[in-house]
Amino acid sequence: MRDRVVQATVRALQRAETTLPHWVLQRIQEAADRESRPLARQHLQFMLENVRIAGQTSLPLCQDTGLTIFHVKIGRDLSLDFCLSEAIAEGVRIATQKIPLRPNAVNPLTRKNSGDNTGPGMPDIILDYVDGRSLSITAFPKGAGSENMSLVGMLNPADDPFDFIVKTVAERAANACPPLFLGIGLGGSFDLAARLAKRALLNMPGNSQEELQLLERINSLGIGPMGLGGDTTALGIKIETAFCHTASLPVAINFQCWANRSATEIVQ
């Protein structure tokens, strides 16, 4: 079982780094079809061409192969006689050599690179329990360009959270490789809002009325692909909420670039 987890981790990373999920490609293609600005359209088409090249060569579509983040769903009836996080870390080390991945994980103070994308706290594993006996591993490599633009705001309950989101995206989108996918965490506490925002990205797609209205407001900014103008600033928004303190309004925005990479492997 341990070896199957290691191998599933390698396969999930391999697919996540060299392809994009079908629904992501579809949204980029749809945006390219309806863009009114030629430069924006060319950018979107070049992005699709880049994904095609990565698929053909089996090489990472972006040189920023990301921090290794995993969403693991584990069946309640499953018992493991090994350390799951260590098995996934071993998969990351193998994948770093095999795919290969750029070594990105460094000590935050000395900035020394471990060379294998692992270290204290890395890989980051988000764990959920589900019914049954299966184990699913989703690789969600997260590049720094978009992650660096993310923000948690501790708003006054009298503030409008959607105004805050639009303003933040307007100021930061150009650096985050738009068109973006935006994970929004609304409510909870300081850290819960951030976790909700990450989960929102993992749980995409979203199409509630609030999400679609927010998407429209953001696209009407005209920031466009790579911040150079156009109709497409965001390709998707998902909001996850939790109850918060009556005196608080935490809002977290987790930016995700157009290359919204993820791949899931099921271990039986």
For the purposes of burial, counting CB atoms within 10 Å of the CB of 162, is it exposed (0-12), middle (13-18) or buried (19 or more)? middle
Contact pattern for another protein over residues 5 through 44, marking x by CB under 8 A: ----------------------------------x--xx-
How many residues lie near another protein (CB under 8 A)?
A: 48
Spell out where 37-131 has E strands.
69-75, 124-130
C-alpha closest to that of 184 among 150, 230, 142, 136: 150
Residue 256 found at the interface with another protein (CB under 8 A): no
Question: What are residue 78's DSSP bridge partners?
Answer: none
- List Cβ neighbours of 171 (8 Å cut-off, separation of 6 or more): none
Q: Supply the angle between the helices 38-57 and 22-34 in degrees, to the nearest 10.
A: 150
Residue 205 found at the interface with another protein (CB under 8 A): no
Residue 227 found at the interface with another protein (CB under 8 A): yes
> Please, what is the minimum distance in Å from the beta carbon of residue 99 to another protein?
9
- Return the residue of 7, 113, 136, 248 that touches another protein, per CB under 8 A: 113
- Residue 65 contacts residue 46 (beta carbons within 8 Å): no
Span near another protein by CB under 8 A; candidates 8-16, 137-145, 152-160, 204-212: 137-145
Residue 254 found at the interface with another protein (CB under 8 A): no
Residues that bind another protein (CB under 8 A): 39, 42-43, 46-47, 49-51, 53-54, 57, 59-65, 100-104, 111, 113, 143-145, 148, 167, 170-171, 174-177, 221-229, 257-259
